């Protein structure tokens, strides 16, 4: 016990020197990982952290909505704020008897898989990504977490190849939304290790979302609810863009757990 505590303090000091966020929690996780994995070496982990590699990629998974999701350099590390999107969407699905769910830009599959796990009803769930490598990890996560095939995975640009029945539909999207000028100033751990395609939203930050809105219109897809994650600095522009494409719908903003304007519901 004493040696464990000494180890945690040592790791925490190392993380604090690196200015690694949430050092207390991460130090505990690293210590547990080393004690569980005989081949894991503290010095090797320190080396990787020193090269700005995020802890989640080193341990190979990230906890999201109480499940462990495999993550690699091909998938974004799911963020804790996105859990709220999942819980909000569960409420929308139950209240409105949603039968079709599309998760656009699924990455590790964290949103689609968590929704499938938390629902007792069985709507049709589709999840898309432009990255074949990300989809491969998402399918592994489906097998590990759900233990059965529950989701239709589609390799496509946004919703291009998605075909839906005319039943009540919720589309969820956590697409790249960071304006390029802001993306370029992000922490090295993000810039050097997480996929750019998951984060860089182009000059305005809204390029992927505008293309998604255009696809919905062009395909005449009957989307009853659209739940989007966004960046707080472009929140108002994002709402205006939604209003432009869906003038007859209600556009509502939602805050994240840190009280920032981060979600938009189009209903």
Q: Which residues bind ligand SAM (CB under 6 A)?
A: 76, 78, 82, 105-108, 110-111, 128-131, 134, 157-158, 174-176, 197-198, 208
Ramachandran region, residue 75 (left: φ > 0; alpha: ψ -120 to 50; beta: rest): beta
Closest to ligand SAM by CB, 129 vs 256, is 129
Cβ of residue 116: shortest distance to ligand SAM, in angstroms?
14
Instruction: Give whichever of 54 and 107 is closer to ligand SAM, judged by the CB atom.
Output: 107
Whichever of 211 and 255 has its CB closer to ligand SAM, that residue is 211
Cβ at position 30, least distance to ligand SAM in Å: 22
Any idea of the CA torsion for 15, 18, 19, 23, to the nearest 10 degrees? -10
Compute the distance between CA of residue 95 and CA of residue 99 in angstroms, rounded to an integer.
Answer: 12
45 or 76: CB nearest ligand SAM:
76
CA 110 from centre of chain: 6
158: closest CA among 215, 227, 236, 85?
215
Q: Distance between CA 181 and CA 169 in Å, rounded?
A: 35
Whichever of 208 and 261 has its CB closer to ligand SAM, that residue is 208
> Closest distance between ligand SAM and the C-beta of residue 177, in Å?
7
Number of H helices, E strands in the chain: 11, 9
Residue 222: CB minimum distance to ligand SAM, A: 20
Least gap, CB of 26 to ligand SAM (angstroms)? 19
């Amino acid at each position: 016990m004493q040696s464990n505590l000494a180890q945690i303090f040592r790791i925490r000091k190392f993380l604090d020197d690196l200015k690694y966020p949430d050092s207390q929690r991460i130090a505990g996780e690293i210590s547990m990982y080393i004690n569980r994995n005989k081949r894991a070496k503290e010095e090797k982990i320190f080396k990787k952290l020193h090269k700005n590699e995020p802890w989640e990629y080193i341990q190979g998974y990230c906890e999201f909505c109480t499940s462990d999701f495999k993550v690699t350099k091909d998938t974004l590390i799911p963020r804790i704020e996105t859990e709220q999107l999942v819980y909000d969407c569960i409420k929308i699905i139950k209240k409105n008897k949603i039968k079709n769910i599309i998760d656009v830009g699924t990455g590790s599959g964290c949103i689609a898989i968590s929704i499938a796990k938390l629902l007792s009803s069985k709507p049709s769930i589709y999840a898309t990504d432009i990255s074949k490598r990300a989809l491969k990890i998402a399918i592994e996560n489906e097998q590990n977490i759900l233990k059965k095939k529950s989701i239709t995975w589609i390799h496509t640009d946004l919703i291009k190849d998605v075909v839906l029945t005319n039943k009540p539909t919720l589309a969820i999207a956590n697409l790249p939304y960071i304006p390029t000028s802001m993306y370029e100033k992000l922490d090295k751990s993000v810039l050097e290790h997480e996929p750019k395609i998951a984060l860089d939203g182009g000059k305005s930050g809204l390029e992927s979302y505008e293309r998604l809105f255009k696809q919905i219109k062009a395909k005449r897809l009957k989307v009853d609810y659209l739940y989007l994650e966004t960046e707080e600095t472009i929140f108002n522009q994002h709402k205006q863009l939604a209003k432009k494409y869906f003038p007859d719908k209600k556009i509502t903003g939602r805050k994240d757990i840190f009280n920032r304007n981060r979600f938009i519901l189009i209903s």
